[in-house]
Amino acid sequence: MENHRTSPIAPMVRWSNYVCIGVLTVLNIGILTFSRAEIVTAKLPEFFLQGLILLAIFVAARRLLEQAAQPAKSLVRLHYAFEGLFFLHIAWLNLRLLNHLSMMIPFPYVDDLLVGWDQALNLNWMAYFEAVYSRPQLFQLLDVSYTSLTFLSLVILLLLVSVGYIERAREFIDTFMITAVVCIVVGAAFPAKAAVLTLFQDLSLFKPMGWVPGAYHLPYMEALRDSSTATVLDPARMPGLATFPSFHTASGILIISVCRNTWLSIPAWLYSIVMISSTPVLGGHYFVDLIAGMFVALMAIKMVHRFNGKSRASAQFQQGRACVAA
C-alpha cells in the first residue's frame, strides 16, 4: 500500500503549505488593518480553541510515535488524521477571508462576458436549468450534493488516512491549496452576480421557494463592493464568492483524482458527477465556470504529480549513491 513508502513520522502536510498559510495570514491581517473591513471577533476564541485541540492531539500522537520502537499503524494514522484536520482548520479561515477581502476590489461584473462565452460554445444554460428545476427530486438531490462538499471533503481525507493512503491524502491537500488560491485570485478579477439573476428577467417564479437558486452569495458581494459602508466579516458566515472558475467543480475533479484505483473510486465518481452537475443551478455558475474549474484542477494535479515524480527520482538517486558508498 502507498503508506509503506512514507516514513511513519514524516509530515503529511508539506512545509510549503504552512508557509502559504502564513503568507495568507499576514496578507489578511494587513488588509483588515488598513481597509474598511473588520472581522467579528466573538467567535474567534472558539475557532482558536478548536485549532488548539486538533494541534494538541496531533503533537501528542507525534511524540508517542517518536518514542515508540515499532509504532502501531492506528497511532500513525491518528497522527496523520489530526495533522490534516488541523491544517484544513487554519486554511479554511484564511482562504475564506482572502476570498471575501479580495472581492472588495471593484472590478466590474463580468456576467455578460460569461454569458457570451457560453453562447459561443453553444451551451444552453436556460434549458439545463429548466430541466433540473422541473424535477423536484433531482433538484433536491443536487442541492444536498452542492452543500455537502466541505463535509465530504473532510470525510474523504479521513478515509484516505484511515486505510493507509497517506500519499493520496498529501496529494489531496497539495492540490486543494493550489486550486483554492488560483480560484480565489482569478475569481476576484472576474466577479459575477449569478447566472440565474442575469438570464431570468422575472424572478417571481421562485417566490414559492422563498429563495433564488444560485444567488445566495450576492448580498455578501454587494456589501463588500459598497465602499460607503464598513464591511463586517463573520467567520461563521462566509460563503464562497468565486464564480469563474468554479471551485466546486475543481474540488470534484480533485476528489476523483485522489480516489483513483481505490475502493473509493466509484463513490467518488458518483458524488462528484452529481455535485458538479449541481453547480450551474445551485451555485449560480455559467458553464464556462465549470470548464475553467476543471482546467485549474487538472493543472494543479499535473503540477503535484510532476513535483512528486521529481522528489521520488531524487530520493532514489540519493539512496543509490548511499548504497554505492556503503
* pLDDT, tens only, 153-164: 999 999 999 999
- Over residues 179-210, the pLDDT tens digits come to 999 999 999 999 999 999 999 988 888 888 88
pLDDT (0 to 100) of residue 317: 42
Q: What pLDDT band is residue 6 in, cutting at 50, 70 and 90? A: very low
Q: Which of 171, 164, 158, 157 is nearest to 2 (CA)?
A: 164
Residue 47 C-alpha cell reads as: 475557532
77: Cβ–Cβ under 8 A, 6 or more apart, which residues?
161, 162, 164
pTM for the whole thing?
A: 0.90
Distance of CA 170 to the CA centre of its chain: 14
In this predicted structure, the answer to whether residue 149 has a pLDDT above a threshold of 50 is yes
Q: Give the angle subtended at the CA of 302 by the CAs of 291 and 2, to the nearest 5°.
A: 125
**Residue 240: what pLDDT?**
92
Q: How many domains does the chain have?
A: 1
Average pLDDT, whole number, for the chain? 90
Cα-flanking dihedrals φ and ψ of residue 267, to 5°? Answer: -60, -35
Instruction: Mark out the alpha helices in 68-148 (DSSP H runs).
Output: 73-102, 111-120, 125-133, 136-147
At 67, is the pLDDT very low, low, confident or very high (cuts 50, 70, 90)?
A: confident
Residue 307, C-beta contacts closer than 8 angstroms, at least 6 positions apart:
174
pLDDT in tens, 249-300: 999 999 999 999 999 999 999 999 999 999 999 999 999 999 999 999 999 9
Note down the domain range covering 255: 2-325
CB atoms closer than 10 angstroms to residue 241 = 21
What average pLDDT does range 121-142 have in this prediction? Answer: 95
Give the pLDDT confidence score for residue 8 in this predicted structure: 53
Q: For 51-88, b where at least 16 C-beta lie within 10 A, e where not — what string?
A: beebbebbeebbebbeeeeebeeeebbbbbbbbbbbbb
